[in-house]
Amino acid sequence: MKKLNNKFFSCLFTLTMLLFSGSMMAQTFSGGGNPQPIPPTGTVGCCTTSDAVVAGLPGGGIVGTDVTVDQVSINLTHTFDADLDISLISPAGTSWDLSSDNGGAGDNYTNTNFVDGFPSITTGAPPYTGTFQAEQGPMNAPAAFSGENANGVWQLSINDDVGGDSGTLLDFSITFGAPCSINVPAAVVVSNDPGVCGANVSLIATAPACLDPLVNDFNAGGADASGVYPVGTTTVNWTSGLSSGSTTVTVTDDEAPTLSCPGDMTIHLDPGACDQVISYEVTATDNCPLIGPAL
C-alpha cells in the first residue's frame, strides 16, 4: 500500500479552509429582468420591479443575527429624478424607502450604493454616484429588516409618479455579509495628568472585517477614541452596522492639592499679656476639589 501524500492532504485542507472562509464573506445577488423601462409603459405609473432571489445564506439567514444587509446597488437612467420613488421590499413584505422624490430635474442614478451609516441620499445630488444611507434610515435597524429571514425574493420597486419623463432600470443588486467583530482595547485605569482634572488617553479599536463605518460615541470619531477623559469612569462604545463593542476608561485624581501658607510673622504681645489670638489661614488649590485627596 502506497504511503499517503502529506503534501496532497495539506493542500486539500488549505483549499477547504479557503472555501469555508469564502462562504462567510459578503454574498451578492443580482436582480433579474433588467434592463427594463421606467415606468413599465408611458411616462407615469407603478411599478418597475426587479427580483433578486437570495438563497444559501449562513445560519438561519436572519438579519441581525446571522447576516446583515451590507449594500444595495442600483444603476438607472431617468430624465427627471424627482419623479421616482425607489423602495426595497424584503421576502417578508417589509418595504423600505431608499429614495423618494429627490434630485429635482437632475438625471440618473449612476453606481449608487445604499449602506447604513453613510450620509442620507437626501444630502446627495444627481447622478448620486457614491455611497449613501437609505432615505428611511438604516436597513439593519429593528424597524427595518432586522429579525427577518433574508433568504427569499428581494424586490427593487420603482414608482414613476409624475408624467412627462421616463428612463431605464439598468441593474440592481443586494449584498449580504456576516456581523463583524470589533476589537476594543482593554479597560484603562490611569491617574489624572498634572494640573488637569482628567487624563489624555490613547484608545483605538480595530474592525478589519467590518463593511459598515466604525464609529464611537466619545468623540464622534471612528476607530480612534483618544482624547482627554474626565476624572471618573467613562464607557466608550464602538458600533459598525449591527456590531458593537465597548470598554471603560477610569481616571483617578491622585494629585494632592497645593497648599499656600502665610509668610513668617512677628507678634508683639500687648502690655501685661502672656498670649494673643492671631488669625493664620492656609489655602489649598485643587484641580478636582470635590474628587481629589482630602486636605
In which band, very low, low, confident or very high, does the pLDDT at 277 lie, cut at 50, 70 and 90?
Answer: low
239 SS3 class: strand
Q: Answer with the residue of higher pLDDT: 215 or 278.
A: 215
Q: Answer with the residue of higher pLDDT: 91 or 4.
A: 91
* Direct distance between the N- and C-terminal alpha carbons of the chain, in angstroms, rounded to an integer: 87
Tell me if the pTM is above 0.75.
Answer: no
User: Is there a cis peptide before residue 138, judged by omega within 30 degrees of 0?
Assistant: no
Q: What is the mean pLDDT of residues 152-170?
A: 97
The single-letter DSSP state of residue 183 is: B
Q: In whole angstroms, how large is the CA radius of gyration of the chain?
A: 32
Q: Is the pLDDT of residue 294 over 80?
A: no
Q: Give rounded-to-5 percent helix, strand, coil for the chain.
A: 10, 40, 50
Q: Is the pLDDT of residue 4 over 50?
A: no
Q: Is the pLDDT of residue 84 over 80?
A: yes
Instruction: Cell 449612476: give the residue.
Output: 110
